């Protein structure tokens, strides 16, 4: 919901800045999504050129109640002409509310502040847009650099982002067709053990309103990118680029596992754990890690028995 709201806010402001007519229709009014967006500060940052149906809110709930609900994500603005030096600290404090019970919270707090400060500073150092930014998620670094190779100078565009954007399985460093001319740490791999914390095919209810539908679009694109990597694993084996691979993932159906152990942690016992920044309870850590270990060993016994029978050969297998 928050992700969709930020994307909608940025899109609406960008369209309005190009003189496009933008109309946001909230059928339920303040009693529905509109009320939630008002509380998180959506309308405080929405361009006044955008038409809102049934009407713009009479007041800003975010200004009245700001900071009163630690469990609520509120929108902060990064304006290159009005720098808010306290923004990295406020973002860090908001993150630490969810992570305060972690044993490494002190170290995490320092690292988080550094990351937020660097990312926000990047807006002021490199942004050419006149629109505000909303530092809720980590942006990509998009720069043009000059490279010197064998005395020849050339320019290339470099985009650096979190690997989860396109390579959530972490397979990019293992593909057998990587070139030593442009890649680091190129090694010969004949077996890949690709472990995923994913839950398989999503089965969410149909979405009716725009924010939920936007989240569904994002999830669909993410799933398609990940499925492309899985398909590439099959192709690599089919064409002899690798000999073997297994793909244990938490959402695998128990009934399809080859010879599962009698004490198998069932799929239903792990399927509901959310993805967020909250500290993970010890019992969940044990449950998830044990199921992951059981799935990996189960599939390895069925499809990679030579690795289990000859542990020395594990050196030739790479794990993603």
> In this predicted structure, what is the pLDDT of residue 266?
95
In a domain, 197, yes or no: yes
CA–CA distance, 204 with 249 (Å, rounded to integer): 19
Q: What are phi and psi for residue 185, nearest 5 degrees? A: 55, 45
Host domain of residue 233: 163-319
Please, which residues bridge with residue 157 across strands? Answer: 144
What is the sign of the dihedral through the CA atoms of 13, 15, 21 and 24?
Answer: negative
Buried b (16+ CB within 10 A) or exposed e, 102-127: beeeeebbeebbeebbebbeebeeee
> In this predicted structure, what is the pLDDT of residue 170?
76
- Judged on CB neighbours under 10 Å (0-12, 13-18, 19+), 216 is middle
| CA 260 from centroid of its chain's CA atoms | 31
> In this predicted structure, what is the pLDDT of residue 309?
73
Return the SS3 of 13: helix
CA–CA distance, 108 with 125 (Å, rounded to integer): 25
| CA 3 from centroid of its chain's CA atoms | 11
DSSP string, 239-288: TTS-SEEE--BTT--GGGSSS--TTPPPGGGTTT---SSSPPPHHHHHHH
Contact 290, 265 (CB under 8 A): yes
Which ranges of the chain have pLDDT less than 70? 1, 70-71, 77-82, 98, 118, 122-143, 145, 147, 157-168, 182, 184-185, 199-204, 206-207, 209-211, 214-215, 218, 275-277, 310-320
In a domain, 289, yes or no: yes
In a domain, 20, yes or no: no
| pLDDT single digits (tens) 52-105 | 999 999 999 888 887 777 667 777 766 666 677 787 887 787 777 767 777 777
Give the residue ranges of DSSP H helices in the chain: 2-17, 33-40, 42-45, 61-65, 87-99, 105-126, 210-238, 282-303, 305-309
> In this predicted structure, what is the pLDDT of residue 138?
43
In a domain, 305, yes or no: yes
In a domain, 175, yes or no: yes
In a domain, 300, yes or no: yes
In a domain, 201, yes or no: yes
In a domain, 103, yes or no: no
CA–CA distance, 113 with 98 (Å, rounded to integer): 15
| pLDDT single digits (tens) 22-40 | 999 998 888 888 998 999 8
What is the sign of the dihedral through the CA atoms of 100, 106, 111 and 114?
Answer: positive
- Give, for 148, the enclosing helix (H) or strand (E): strand 141-149
Number of domains in the chain: 1
Tokens for 158?
Answer: 């470099």
CA–CA distance, 198 with 249 (Å, rounded to integer): 6
> Cβ of 98: how many Cβ atoms within 10 Å?
14
> In this predicted structure, what is the pLDDT of residue 304?
92
CA–CA distance, 5 with 199 (Å, rounded to integer): 25
């Amino acid at each position: 919901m928050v992700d969709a709201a930020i994307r909608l806010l940025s899109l609406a402001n960008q369209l309005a800045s190009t003189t496009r007519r933008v109309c946001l229709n909230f059928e339920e009014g303040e009693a529905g999504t509109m009320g939630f967006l008002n509380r998180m500060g959506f309308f405080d940052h929405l361009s006044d050129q955008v038409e809102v149906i049934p009407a713009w809110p009479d007041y800003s709930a975010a200004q009245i109640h700001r900071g009163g609900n630690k469990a609520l994500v509120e929108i902060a603005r990064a304006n290159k002409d009005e720098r808010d030096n306290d923004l990295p600290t406020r973002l860090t404090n908001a993150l630490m509310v969810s992570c305060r019970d972690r044993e490494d919270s002190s170290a995490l707090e320092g690292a988080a502040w550094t990351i937020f400060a660097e990312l926000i500073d990047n807006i002021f150092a490199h942004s050419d847009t006149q629109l505000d930014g909303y530092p809720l998620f980590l942006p990509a670094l998009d720069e043009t650099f000059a490279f010197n190779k064998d005395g020849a100078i050339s320019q290339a565009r470099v985009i650096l982002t979190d690997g989860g954007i396109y390579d959530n399985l972490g397979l990019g460093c293992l593909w057998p067709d990587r070139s030593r001319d442009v890649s680091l740490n190129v090694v010969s791999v004949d077996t890949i053990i690709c472990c995923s914390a994913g839950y398989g095919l999503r089965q969410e209810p149909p979405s009716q309103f725009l924010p939920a539908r936007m989240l569904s679009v994002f999830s669909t694109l993410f799933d398609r990118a990940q499925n492309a990597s899985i398909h590439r694993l099959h192709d690599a084996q089919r064409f002899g680029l690798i000999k073997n691979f297994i793909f244990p993932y938490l959402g695998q159906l128990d009934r399809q596992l080859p010879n599962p152990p009698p004490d198998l942690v069932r799929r239903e016992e792990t399927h509901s754990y959310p993805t967020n920044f909250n500290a993970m309870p010890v019992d969940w850590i044990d449950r998830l890690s044990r199921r992951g270990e059981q799935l990996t060993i189960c599939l390895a016994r069925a499809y990679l028995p030579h690795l289990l029978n000859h542990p020395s050969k594990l050196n030739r297998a790479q794990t993603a």
